[in-house]
Structure 1
Amino acid sequence: MTKHPTAAPVLCTALSFAWPDGTPVLDDLSWTADTGRTGLIGRNGSGKSTLLRLIAGRLAPASGTVQVAGTPGYLPQDLTLHPTTPVDEILGIAGARAALHAIEAGDTDARHLTTLGDRWDVEERTRATLARLSLRHIGLDRTVGEVSGGEAVLLRLAALLLARPAVLLLDEPTNNLDRHARELLHQALADHRGTAIIVTHDRELLDRVDHVAELRDHTLRTYGGNLTAYEEALAAEQEAARRAHTTALADVARQRRDLTAARTRQARSARYGRQMYADNRIDKAGAQTAKRAAQVSRGKQQAVHDHRLAEAADRLHTAEDRLREDDTLRIDLPGTAVPPHRTVLTCDHARLSTGRHLRGLHIHGPERIALTGANGSGKTTLLRTLAGQLPPLEGRVTLHVPLRYLPQDLALLDTTQSVLGAVARLNPHATTHQIRARLARFLFKGTRADQRISTLSGGERFRATLAALLLADPAPQLLLLDEPTNSLDLASVTHLAQALADYRGALIVASHDQPFLQQLGITRRLDLDTSDGT
């Protein structure tokens, strides 16, 4: 890893990386980041988070170099903060604050002056930054355990903004943020004057970037403009690719017809020559001369037609390479359909551990309920209570159909096992053939089912976990999903929405992703910011 000033904010040259088990992630990738805000997109498992960690210096490449303008500020996707960590330490100002307070108390030790440097306004500047992110209510002496998960993410972003790095690296920064917090992050990035590279599937955030860089097949290509401009450019490219493919197919067919016709003419001419000799219309010497001339002509024509056919085949292969044939997630479970009149779940005067009362939450038939609310409003607690993982303090929750719950942390699979092994452990009655067939529908085909869970991206782990839950017998007629799009790429979000649209059971989805919810055909919304759960 090379870290020094460079003409470009980030320059990657011939970058390669593989996991310890040999699984390749990046291969000979070269890319120059543009100034401004770049949205980094790509299929799950394509290497987006790995690339960000390489740029941040958290991973070392197997080969190649990374050059960065200054020290980048990095916000990882799996942000883990100890609950006893003070807020000022998270913000990176604990040492400067301690030095400032010591000096103000009359301690003139030179070490305090060295630590503080020119940051005499450290507290004022910190409070101003927190105010921009609606965090002015959080005292600098509080601990992380006293703030919500979304506030912790914003605090880490505030720390990066305070450090003023030339390059910001953000990995799915809106995953755990509610609507208001997302808008604050969007605005903070809009105000940022440096370079930002953002791995995200948040369509609203991607429509605010200056460039979109797509990582696909170990190649990173940058498009000017936001997500909408990228999708328009891609649609135009694919339309041109489809036309080129159609033309190339027709050309190959024409060249094959021409070759067949030439061979037919040559065969007819040879038969005519033999007939002429048989009828004594030419002598033996003349027949041999004609035969040699025909062979020379036939060889030349064969070479010409073979060359034309090879060129046409090359154009067809080039056109096929430009066409995208992305696999689609499929959920087509038998036995999941719920009749409209059937009672699925009832809550009778249930009081949750958060204190919220569910006086009369009843679910009937294949309802699709969107569970919304700010961070800390109790969405996960409600889902865990409905799933039977948390008993209500009062009242009763009664389930009338088979249920499966997909938690936000995806902690159901053994990370030391392969995808096949981890799913088999949760479904001991399923055969290996059944598991492989199910995993193929979730895009783990062939040897990909043998990949270790620990090497999967967040989106791949989501698909593996969902496959494990849905393979269960009996098939679930009620699905509870907690922020299911957090780790999914744009294509996978679309595929999941399409797959769930075909699911015939009842569905409760906690999500801040409004475009995703709109695709699900939601029949009812339960907003925990305004509803008492009745």
Structure 2
Amino acid sequence: MPASIILFDLTWAAPDCPPLFSRLNLNFGPARTGLVGRNGVGKTTLLKLIAGELCPRSGSVSVVDTLGVLRQTVQVNPDETVADLFGVTDALAVLNRAERGEATDEELADADWALEARVASALGRVGLETRPETLLTTLSGGQRTRAGLAALVFAEPDFLLLDEPTNNLDRDGREAVIELLAGWRSGAIVVSHDRELLETVDAIVELTTLGATRYGGNWSAYRALKTQELAAAKRDLADAEKRVADVARSAQVTAERHARKSRAGQRKGEKGGTPRIILGGMKDRSEDTSGGNARLAERRREEALEAASAARERIEILQPLTVRLPPTNLPANKTVLKLDAVTAGYEPDRPIVRELSVTVIGPERIAVTGPNGSGKTTLLALVTGQLSPWAGTVQVLTDFAVLDQRVSVLDPATTIRDNFLRINPRADEFACRTALARFMFRAEAALQTVSTLSGGQLLRAGLACVLGGATPPPLLILDEPTNHLNIDSIEAVEAGLRAYDGALLVVSHDESFLEAVGITRRLELQP
């Protein structure tokens, strides 16, 4: 399979910063490749280098085919239309003049009579119902993402570069992107944390601070290989720890043997009969042997300890987070939330939620789903008291906590530790550090200022502070918790929520996440 994109000895760094990549070598052929890695490792930067938007410090980027690039956010001008995004505004204007009988003979000769149908087909492939003259500013963020993807499909590039294409999309939008990539038969590099989307790729490239590793197959195949790596690392650790014990035991046996010989020689010397010069030589040789044995034992001990440390580091990287939380003691038959015939909105005579009735009993796990604009955020605002209903009643009958995308429950100016003690005023220092350690904030990591945390660390810190106390709140409300998180962070959050025994109310379009946290019921809202 010929390579369409070749990265050779690629090194890149921001000014006055250490290299993000160093001597990176990769190639991409006409296949679909998922690019994964932790936040900040350089996935988006790598796409920009391939697209020619950044220049490497050293090394080279060779691109054989034409590229189509989808950004994380589609920036628009106030008067920009869908047709402008497709680059067909002038060509459509010619067709409009032709319909009115105003086109010149030259324009008629060059007119693309199938253009409108091709534009409509591209929009249809991403599930977007709109017209070419629609202003982009009138579309939601998710709709603009779909329009940008449709423009790429329309341009028919040889290679797609997609940066988080399903972020901010509702369920229909995500399914349209997943279906598009599943049917794409040319090359593509997809930066994504969407595991459902990554199931459609042919290979996974994992980017780390140490470089890049390619794994054949889709996301499930990649995870299976990573599981094998974890098992191998655990075997290596067991072997290394056994070696440490064996070296210590061998050193002890050698030392005891040497001590016995020394005592025997000393007794023999005390009895007399051996010339002093010979005794001196025996003593020197004994000391040399003892010193040599000690140095050899120390070298073997250091090698064994180094191997054990390396194995532990691999396990620390590969081992999924597991969390144990105190129980909420929420009874199975207790009503924690009740909405009765609620109608609400933000503008008079334009209700977003209409006659909605919902009851949450016991530790139910409810997913709030629906297309963009169906009222999911409005529902959370009603439950949390940020919005009052126009009609009907909202009753929250237990303590609750909210984690939104900004994790606003945390004070960004203080440390994780200080936030924990503020949210859990009865906790002492030991309980605080123990709880934070469960969420991988150990020792100095607990003293990080919240404003310096990545998105994944921020949400993990929020979970630690809210759920790590002696008695977590019986109701937890989450608003799109996986947006902008890398997959490691998502899986860490999933582990924390699986250990939580309270009620969950979750707004999310991420089906893999909803399945992982054990959703028991769905509330589907309609616009």
TM-score range for the pair, normalised by the shorter chain length: 0.7 to 0.9
TM-score of the superposed pair, with normalisation by structure 2: 0.81
Partner of 1:15: 11
2:35 paired residue among 32, 35, 40? 40
Report the CA distance shift for 1:407/1:298 in structure 2 as closer, same or farther (over 3 A). closer
Report the CA distance shift for 1:103/1:517 in structure 2 as closer, same or farther (over 3 A). same
Q: Which moved more, 1:337-346 or 1:63-72?
A: 63-72
Residue 505 of structure 2 aligns to a residue whose secondary structure is strand
Deviation at 1:285, TM superposition (A): 2.0
Partner of 2:523: 526
Deviation at 1:209, TM superposition (A): 0.9
2:321 paired residue among 320, 328, 342? 328
Report the CA distance shift for 1:320/1:500 in structure 2 as closer, same or farther (over 3 A). closer
Report the CA distance shift for 1:294/1:478 in structure 2 as closer, same or farther (over 3 A). closer
Q: Does the CA contact (< 8 Å) of 2:363 and 2:502 recur in 1?
A: yes
Do residues 264 (structure 1) and 256 (structure 2) align?
yes
1:28 paired residue among 22, 26, 34? 22
Cα deviation 1:54-97 (Å, max 9, x = unaligned): 54455666776655456743333345556764222233433554
Deviation at 1:518, TM superposition (A): 2.5
CA distance in 2, matches of 1:32, 1:189: 22
Report the CA distance shift for 1:404/1:243 in structure 2 as closer, same or farther (over 3 A). closer
Q: Does the CA contact (< 8 Å) of 2:85 and 2:151 recur in 1?
A: yes
CA distance in 1, matches of 2:375, 2:251: 72
Structure 1, gaps ≥5 residues long: 1-5
Do residues 211 (structure 1) and 203 (structure 2) align?
yes
CA distance in 2, matches of 1:72, 1:460: 34
Partner of 2:500: 503
CA distance in 2, matches of 1:27, 1:451: 27
Q: Which amino acid aligns with 1:375?
A: N
Do residues 75 (structure 1) and 90 (structure 2) align?
no
Q: Does the CA contact (< 8 Å) of 1:10 and 1:33 recur in 2?
A: yes
Q: Does the CA contact (< 8 Å) of 1:368 and 1:521 recur in 2?
A: yes
Deviation at 1:223, TM superposition (A): 0.8
1:266-305 pair list within 5 angstroms: 266-305=258-297
CA distance in 2, matches of 1:418, 1:19: 27
Do residues 402 (structure 1) and 394 (structure 2) align?
no
TM-score of the superposed pair, with normalisation by structure 1: 0.80
Report the CA distance shift for 1:13/1:419 in structure 2 as closer, same or farther (over 3 A). farther
Deviation at 1:284, TM superposition (A): 1.0
Do residues 420 (structure 1) and 412 (structure 2) align?
no
Identity, in percent, stands at 37
Partner of 2:173: 181
Partner of 2:81: 86
Do residues 202 (structure 1) and 194 (structure 2) align?
yes
Residue 388 of structure 2 aligns to a residue whose secondary structure is coil
Deviation at 1:499, TM superposition (A): 1.7
CA distance in 2, matches of 1:54, 1:438: 41
Q: Which amino acid aligns with 2:481?
A: P
Report the CA distance shift for 1:302/1:423 in structure 2 as closer, same or farther (over 3 A). closer
Cα deviation 1:81-114 (Å, max 9, x = unaligned): 567642222334335544665688757699x99x
CA distance in 2, matches of 1:486, 1:215: 20
CA distance in 2, matches of 1:318, 1:473: 35
Report the CA distance shift for 1:479/1:300 in structure 2 as closer, same or farther (over 3 A). closer
Report the CA distance shift for 1:324/1:93 in structure 2 as closer, same or farther (over 3 A). farther
Partner of 1:3: none
Q: Which moved more, 1:121-130 or 1:33-42?
A: 121-130
CA distance in 1, matches of 2:75, 2:424: 36
Cα deviation 1:191-235 (Å, max 9, x = unaligned): 334332222222222221111112234422111111121122222
Deviation at 1:139, TM superposition (A): 0.6
Residue 206 of structure 2 aligns to a residue whose secondary structure is strand
Report the CA distance shift for 1:384/1:469 in structure 2 as closer, same or farther (over 3 A). farther
Residue 352 of structure 1 aligns to a residue whose secondary structure is strand
Report the CA distance shift for 1:376/1:242 in structure 2 as closer, same or farther (over 3 A). same
Residue 323 of structure 1 aligns to a residue whose secondary structure is helix
1:366 paired residue among 351, 363, 388? 363
1:70-469 pair list within 5 angstroms: 72-79=67-74, 81=76, 85-98=80-93, 122-135=115-128, 137-325=129-317, 326=319, 328=321, 330=323, 332=325, 336-353=328-345, 354-408=351-405, 410=406, 412=408, 418=413, 420=415, 442-443=439-440, 446=444, 450=448, 453=451, 457-464=454-461
Report the CA distance shift for 1:132/1:27 in structure 2 as closer, same or farther (over 3 A). closer
Do residues 490 (structure 1) and 482 (structure 2) align?
no
Report the CA distance shift for 1:527/1:19 in structure 2 as closer, same or farther (over 3 A). farther
Cα deviation 1:145-178 (Å, max 9, x = unaligned): 4444433221111122233444422232223333
Q: Does the CA contact (< 8 Å) of 1:372 and 1:511 recur in 2?
A: yes
Structure 2, gaps ≥5 residues long: 346-350
Partner of 2:348: none
Cα deviation 1:239-258 (Å, max 9, x = unaligned): 22222222222222222222
Q: Does the CA contact (< 8 Å) of 2:342 and 2:394 recur in 1?
A: yes
Q: Which amino acid aligns with 1:13?
A: D
Deviation at 1:497, TM superposition (A): 2.5
Q: Does the CA contact (< 8 Å) of 2:162 and 2:190 recur in 1?
A: yes
Report the CA distance shift for 1:26/1:442 in structure 2 as closer, same or farther (over 3 A). farther
- Tell me the C-alpha RMSD between the 2 structures: 4.3
Cα deviation 1:425-449 (Å, max 9, x = unaligned): 9969969979888766554553575
Q: Does the CA contact (< 8 Å) of 1:349 and 1:394 recur in 2?
A: yes
Q: Which amino acid aligns with 2:503?
A: A
